[in-house]
Amino acid sequence: MLIAPIRILGVMTRPIRKLLVIAVFVVAFLALVLAVTVAKPFETLAATVLGGTYGVSAA
């Protein structure tokens, strides 16, 4: 889940498209976490925010 966005962001040059890629992967991660866990929605959202923050800082 981290390798694909980093590789895609490395190729992209326009900042708007980079933001779009980040947003798409954060939403995809949220959907994945919602689908595979029995956590409450706010817990799932917190996990997504932490995962998204790590993904953005790693890129």
Instruction: Spell out the domain ranges in the chain.
Output: 3-58
What is the three-class DSSP state of 49? helix
31-52 per-position pLDDT tens digit: 887 888 887 888 877 877 776 5
Confidence check: pLDDT of 54 > 70: no
What does the alpha-carbon distance between residue 59 and residue 54 come to, in Å, rounded to a whole number?
A: 9
What is the three-class DSSP state of 40? coil
What does the alpha-carbon distance between residue 47 and residue 50 come to, in Å, rounded to a whole number?
A: 5
Whole-number percent of the chain with pLDDT over 70: 81
